Amino acid sequence: MSEFDEYETVAVEFGTIAKHVATLTISRPNARNALNGTVRSEVKMAIDALEETERDVRVLVITGDDDGGAFVAGADISEFRDRDQFDQREASTQPRIYERVADFPLPVIAAINGHALGGGCELSLACDIRVAKEGAKLGQPEIGLGLIPGGGGTQRLPQVVGMGQAMKLILSGELVDATEAEEIGLVEETHPEGEFEARLSELARTIAEKSPKALEHGKRALSASAEMNLDAGLDYELELFTSLFATKDMREGIEAFYEDRDPEFTGE
In one letter, which amino acid is 176?
V
CA 78 to mean position of chain CA atoms? 25
Q: Are 201 and 194 in contact (CB under 8 A)?
A: no
Q: Indicate the residue type of 180.
A: E
Please tell me what DSSP assigns to residue 93: P
Per DSSP, the three-state class of 59 is strand
What is the Cα Rg of the chain in Å?
19
Distance between CA atoms of residues 191 and 113, nearest Å: 10
Cα 30 to the chain's mean position, in Å? 23
Pick the catalytic residue from 79, 90, 134, 142: 142
* Count helices and strands in the chain by DSSP H and E runs: 11, 10
Cis previous bond, 95, omega within 30: yes
Contact in structure between 138 and 186 (CB atoms under 8 Å): yes
Active-site position among 51, 52, 122, 134: 122
Among 5, 122, 100, 97, CA closest to 51? 100
| Annotated catalytic residue 79 | no
Angle, CA of 114, 117 and 123, to the nearest 5°:
90
Known catalytic membership, residue 134: no
| Catalytic residue list | 122, 142
